[in-house]
Structure 1
Amino acid sequence: ARPELMVQTINFGAIQNILDVLWRKVKDVVASGGYLHEDEQALMGLAFNLFILMYQLRTFSEDKELVTALVSCEGFEYFQSLLGVVEIARGAGDVLEKVYFHIPHICQYLTDELKME
């Protein structure tokens, strides 16, 4: 199917290199809790979308190059900490679809009580 074809076609080492370069450009600001400027926000958006692509493809394949590139990227822990997933049941509940998304930074400061509301 389509995900397997994507896994066979994509050069995950190249995507890891792109993620690493993008992460190096913003990691100091992220680590200090500082504000990302517009161009840095755009870089983070691109990096996060590439991370989501690899993370989602990993659910379809245990390709060694894919798994290695994903867990070896320099910002893995950061990206994974802000990765959310929602499961959606379609039809009579026989199809379960996962949607991955970037959890906004402000959500890190919500208490468990507020999250339950």
Structure 2
Amino acid sequence: MTTMRRTTAALGATALLTSLGLVAGPAHADGPEKDREFRVAGAEVDFSVSKDDGRFEVEVDIDDAEPGSRWRVVLWHDGRRYHSKVHRADGDGDVEIEKGRRNTRGADTFKVRVKLVGGAGATRTIRMR
């Protein structure tokens, strides 16, 4: 009987603290994450879009590129370009880009173009509902 009372008391205390906002509940994202993985000029590219707190988080990761190589990365949201920059791969051959975007009316379409300066390029699209 003592174990039952302790368990009940613990559950009651947790419920009270949660309702007061003192215990964090599970993390909640507004929608699923979508990603596209592809290769360009020998490097691996991971393009992902997730929705969190009503905003989109857009990430582009280039891995296994030649250290010091230069990559032009262009990002579009619903047909409007919002990022166009040449990035240099670090000593490990990595480039990491993170951009936040507001949610717009209707489905949101994101597009990335990744191109090795002086070499090959590729484009991928993600549509979020």
Q: TM-score interval w.r.t. the shorter chain?
A: under 0.3
Rg (Cα) greater in structure: 2
Higher normalized strand content (fraction of residues): 2
Q: TM-score, normalised by structure 2?
A: 0.25
Higher normalized helix content (fraction of residues): 1
Q: TM-score, normalised by structure 1?
A: 0.27
Query: Structure with the greater relative contact order (CA < 8 A, sep ≥ 6): 1 or 2?
Result: 1
